[in-house]
Structure 1
Amino acid sequence: MTAIAQESEGDGHARYTYRLRVSSGARTALEAEWSRCRWLWNECCARSKKAHRDGEKCGPARLDRMLTQARTAMVWLREGSSVPQQQLIRDFAKSRAKALKDIKARLPMRQRASMPRYKKKHQDAPSLNYTRRGFRLKSGRLHLAGGIAVTVVWSRDLPEPPSSVRVYREGTGAWYASFVVPAVTGALPVTGAVIGIDWGVRETATTTSDGHDLPHPQHGKNAAQRLAHYQRMMSSTNAAFVAPIAASAALRAMVDFARNLGWPASTAGPCIWYTPRTPRWTVRSAEREPSTHYLFPKGRIPAPRAES
């Protein structure tokens, strides 16, 4: 199923998200590309902490020089495309600048943006950003820098050629491509109608027109009613009501086992009780001694008594 989303991306831009069909080879290449970018992000975090201790600056220019030196020294890093790596440095610098700005403005802790943190292999999902020179669309497929080609599930056409794309993976394992395109804006026709909207007490939104009121969904009240219903079902006073809910095959097996213990076939049958507080069944006989009962804990069923 194709997931489509359109979000505002600043002034004059919007995001269009499409599902991707990724082959095994493309998935391996994307994960390898993300491994390089994740290593680079963690190196930026370490360099940022070192610059803070030494009282130095750690801007995008210094991080770009670090990337150039790392790609020169490491063949593994040069095997990947430089486009997502450079975009990752831009994202890191923007996140760090926002955190420092909030600290300088003395904002409360709950309102501050946190400093960039290390990305872990098994916790952070892959996310790769490509600018216009790092991808192209050809024959309905998305070709990324580094020789990676994936199939896009086009649920609708893009209004304009995209300027960038973000390829990411969700927790379910599905891959998506989010394109940034110029937003086509237009003024709505003037109708002359006026309506007022306010936050209501009994309704989620109340308006000056009764036909446009948004009623409250009552999620909390409905959940409380369901919880009380299930609590009454599991209460000890309604054990006779809970017993029939069990599987009929298990009940028949216990009746047959109780008859094998010596009850004659003419009897009305044993009474089977279920105790909610303890995970075991109790079988009692109305014709034998009232104090005689047999317990069947899980995994410990006694052997039936042989007929005399």
Structure 2
Amino acid sequence: MKRAYKFRFYPTAEHVELLARTFGCVRFVYNSILRWRTDAYAERQEKNGYTQASARLTALKKEPEFSWLNDVSSVPLQQSLRHQQTAFKNYFEGRTAYPTFKSKRCKQAAEFTARAFKYRNGQLFVAKSKTPLNVRWSRKLPSVPSTITISRDAAGRYFVSCLCDFEPALLPISLKVVGIDVGLKDLFVTDSGFTCANPRYTTKYAARLALLQRRLSRKMRGSKNRAKARLKVARLYAKMADCRLDVLHKATRKIINENQVVCVESLKVKNMIRNPVLSKAIADACWNELVRQLKYKGEWAGRSVVSIDPFFPSSKRCSECGFTMQKMSLDVRKWSCPECGVDHDRDINAARNIKAAGLAVLACGVTVNP
């Protein structure tokens, strides 16, 4: 399998200048080729693919006004065209929206293939530089990277992601099966009653974030003080994102280590987040990221992660007799079944139903009616 190992590194002044030029060239090539392809289709109904885009890039590099494109490695420029072609493919197949232009205010990234970097004796060298990157290696790479991606986030931090071949270690078979119901009060609840508290980092840092954003709004555009204030806001956002990922990685690792089968819901988070009252809380909970981590970690460990139908009434269905309530508002946290009289906790009952439905899907296939 392929796996990316991400490390933080601290560039020297030489690396900062080289990477700034590389990021700028990658961004310019992506945006200019995207504009060229869009205009060609709008004006002449001409469809251009990667081959035509690569030829256009060669022509651009020969023009005197764009000679600075030759100051950086050609590999990241070609890779940006490949990424753009993938974006167009996803768009034409209906998976994403039309490709958009890249901004210098957002995350910057450049991908290097094997002929544009060297990895030897624990040191990483990139093209156009003779000094190694000062990488903080937190773990040993399982193999020599096939590609690396160097990125700089909005907070000014530099990272390198190394794509390597690795052999996943299968965990011993466990006899435990768990059903998981995600929520806002608790991050998730299992069928056995275990709850993982929702840290709510957006609420925790709301006052500090509002203060920094007020200070940013008062700074003059284009000034150095505005750049400093913007960096403080970006660092706080990065801290919140890192805290969320830390909680999710610890929780998902514990679930995968302990259970052989994990049953979860297939939530339409993109539709749910349109709720103006709950959108911020739903985004802060990161339900999609929770399920994504469970799936790839389960694949590595030899576990089964089963997703049930998103319209399955897990909260309104009695886990004892199967009676389904017609309506149940979100403020109802405990209820009694009118058919069998059993008292239910809303989240635990939903987790039990998800577990039963997941086992049915696992045994009979996705076409089964839970």
Fold-level similarity (TM above 0.5): yes
Q: Is the 8 A contact 2:119 2:144 kept in 1?
A: no
How many residues in Structure 1 have an aligned counterpart in Structure 2?
Answer: 203
Indicate how the Cα distance of structure 1 residues 170 and 186 shifts in structure 2: closer, same or farther if over 3 A, else same: same
Q: 1:36 to 1:148 in 2, by over 3 A?
A: farther
2:190 is aligned to 207
Distance 1:19 1:157 in 2: 14
Residue 193 (structure 1) aligned to one of 157, 162, 176: 176
Contact map agreement 2:106 2:154 (CA 8 A) in 1: no
CA contact (8 A) 1:47 1:58 kept: no
SS state at 1:15 partner: strand
CA–CA distance in 2 between the matches of 1:60 and 1:46?
14
| Residue 173 (1) aligns with residue 156 (2) | yes
Give me the TM-score of the superposition, normalised by structure 2: 0.49
1:202–1:44 Cα change, 3 Å: closer
Q: Distance in 2 between matches of 1:203 and 1:120?
A: 36
Answering whether residue 60 of structure 2 is matched by residue 70 of structure 1, we say yes
Say if 2:31 and 2:101, in contact at 8 Å, map to a contact too: yes
CA drift at 1:31: 0.6
Contact persistence 1:16–1:180 (CA under 8 A): yes
2: CA distance between counterparts of 1:198 and 1:30?
A: 44
Shift in alpha-carbon separation, 1:220–1:151, aligned structure 2, 3 A: closer
Distance across 1 between alignment mates of 2:77 and 2:202: 46
- Which has a greater percent of strand? 1
Question: Match for residue 50 of structure 2?
Answer: 60
Match of residue 98, structure 1, among 87, 90, 106: 90
The answer on whether the counterparts of 1:83 and 1:145 sit within 8 Å (CA) in structure 2 is no
Could you tell me which runs of 5 or more consecutive residues in structure 2 were left unpaired when the two chains were aligned: 208-370
Describe how 1:259-298 pairs up with structure 2 within 5 A.
none
Partner deviation per Cα, 1:12-53 (whole Å, 9 max, x = no partner): 222111111201111111111222222111211111112221
Matches within 5 A, 1:21-170: 21-53=10-42, 54-74=44-64, 75-102=67-94, 113-121=96-104, 123-147=105-129, 149=131, 150-170=133-153
| 3-state secondary structure, aligned to 1:152 | coil
Deviations 1:107-165 (A, max 9, x none): xxxxx6222222334x2332110011111123433211122642111111112221111
> Between Structure 1 and Structure 2, which shows a larger proportion of helix residues?
2
User: Take 1:120 and 1:188, find their aligned partners in 2: how far apart are those partners?
Assistant: 43
Deviation readout 1:186-217 (Å, 9 max, x if unpaired): 3321232333334579755333434x343566
**Which TM-score applies when normalising by structure 1?**
0.58
Letter in 1 for 2:21: A
Are residues 219 and 169 of structure 1, via their aligned partners in 2, closer, same or farther at CA, if it must alter by over 3 Å? Answer: closer
Q: Is the 8 A contact 2:5 2:162 kept in 1?
A: yes
Provide the C-alpha distance between the structure 1 equivalents of 2:23 and 2:204, rounded to a whole number of angstroms. Answer: 44
Task: Compute the displacement of 1:56 (Å).
Answer: 1.0
Q: 1:143 to 1:222 in 2, by over 3 A?
A: closer
CA contact (8 A) 1:95 1:116 kept: yes
**CA offsets per residue over residues 252-308 of structure 1, 9 Å max, x none?**
xxxxxxxxxxxxxxxxxxxxxxxxxxxxxxxxxxxxxxxxxxxxxxxxxxxxxxxxx
Over the residues paired in the alignment, what is the CA RMSD in angstroms?
2.9
Q: Which runs of 5+ in 1 are unaligned?
A: 1-11, 103-111, 227-308
Structure 1 residue ranges, 4+ long, deviating more than 4 angstroms after superposition: 199-204, 215-223
One-letter identity of the residue aligned with 1:47: W
Relative to structure 1, the CA distance from residue 64 to residue 148 in structure 2 (aligned partners, 3 Å threshold; closer, same or farther) is: farther
Contact 2:181 2:189 in 1 (8 A): yes
Per the alignment, do residues 135 and 221 of structure 1 end up closer, same or farther by CA in structure 2, a change over 3 Å counting?
closer
Supply the AA of the counterpart residue of 2:10: R
Following the alignment from structure 2 to structure 1, what is the Cα–Cα distance between the partners of residues 200 and 73? 51
CA 1:197/1:61 → structure 2, altered by over 3 Å: closer, same or farther? same
Q: Aligned to 2:97, what secondary structure does the other structure show?
A: coil
